[in-house]
Amino acid sequence: DFLGLRNLTILDNALKFVRKGYQEKLDLKQISLDDPLTLRLFQAGQTNGVFQFESTGIKNVLRRLHPTSFEDVAAVNALYRPGPIGNIDEFIARKHGQHPVSYPEKSLQPILAKTYGIMVYQEQVMQVASAMGGFSLGEADLLRRAISKKDQLK
């Protein structure tokens, strides 16, 4: 989308400024997704200029969650949306051991373990439909689309 393209342009310009100003050529692929310095910035909510992490609300969530991995940051991004936003408090409580991590069915642990037993991603909905309902991935995708439709009567 347009906002994503704008942010990619900003990132490209930043790399050019680093090359020009420091005579350094950065390869973004060489930076770990779990870079400790970057995670500390997210933990502190110091995310001005980071696409989709600039609002006061998401910064507060980041400070409460204290993400320790790229997976945590990605989950916050997925949860901080109108539909799933109600799961944020439970996600945080489970991450910090305040609530037990539980699964609707034990066999779902491999699918839901990284998100503390909470379905965060649409892909998880599809995997659960496949594991529990025997859906093919194509059928699971149709189910995912039906669930996400705004008009629930259809």
Task: Answer whether residue 89 is part of any domain.
Answer: yes
Give me the pLDDT at residue 32, please.
92
Q: Rg for the chain (alpha carbons), in Å?
A: 19
Q: Are residues 7 and 68 in the same domain?
A: no
Distance CA 88, CA 101 (A): 14
* 34 within 8 A of 74, measured Cβ to Cβ: no
Q: Are residues 53 and 86 in the same domain?
A: yes
The dihedral built from the CA positions of residue 59, 63, 67 and 71, taken in this order, carries a sign that is negative
Q: Are residues 42 and 83 in the same domain?
A: yes
The beta strands (E) that lie in 16-147 are given as: none
Task: Answer whether residue 131 is part of any domain.
Answer: no
CA dihedral 115, 119, 122, 125 (to 10 degrees): 130
Task: Answer whether residue 152 is part of any domain.
Answer: no
Q: Are residues 43 and 2 in the same domain?
A: no
Give me the pLDDT at residue 49, please.
85
Q: With both helix axes pointing from N to C terminus, report the angle between 56-65 and 70-79 in degrees, rounded to the nearest 10.
A: 140
pLDDT tens for the chain, residues 1 to 154: 555 678 788 888 988 988 888 888 888 888 899 999 999 999 999 999 888 999 999 999 999 999 999 999 999 999 999 889 999 999 999 999 999 999 999 999 999 999 999 999 999 999 999 999 999 999 999 999 998 875 455 4
Task: Answer whether residue 126 is part of any domain.
Answer: no
Whole-number Cα distances in Å, 62 to 15, 67, 96, 109, 144: 26, 7, 13, 25, 28
- Residue 44, helix vs strand vs coil: coil
Q: Are residues 51 and 68 in the same domain?
A: yes
Q: Are residues 8 and 67 in the same domain?
A: no
Task: Answer whether residue 90 is part of any domain.
Answer: yes
Task: Answer whether residue 123 is part of any domain.
Answer: no
Q: Are residues 19 and 47 in the same domain?
A: no
* 145 within 8 A of 125, measured Cβ to Cβ: no
Range of the domain at 95: 32-101
Q: Are residues 68 and 42 in the same domain?
A: yes
> Within a 10 A sphere around the Cβ of 23, how many other Cβ atoms?
7
Q: Are residues 58 and 2 in the same domain?
A: no
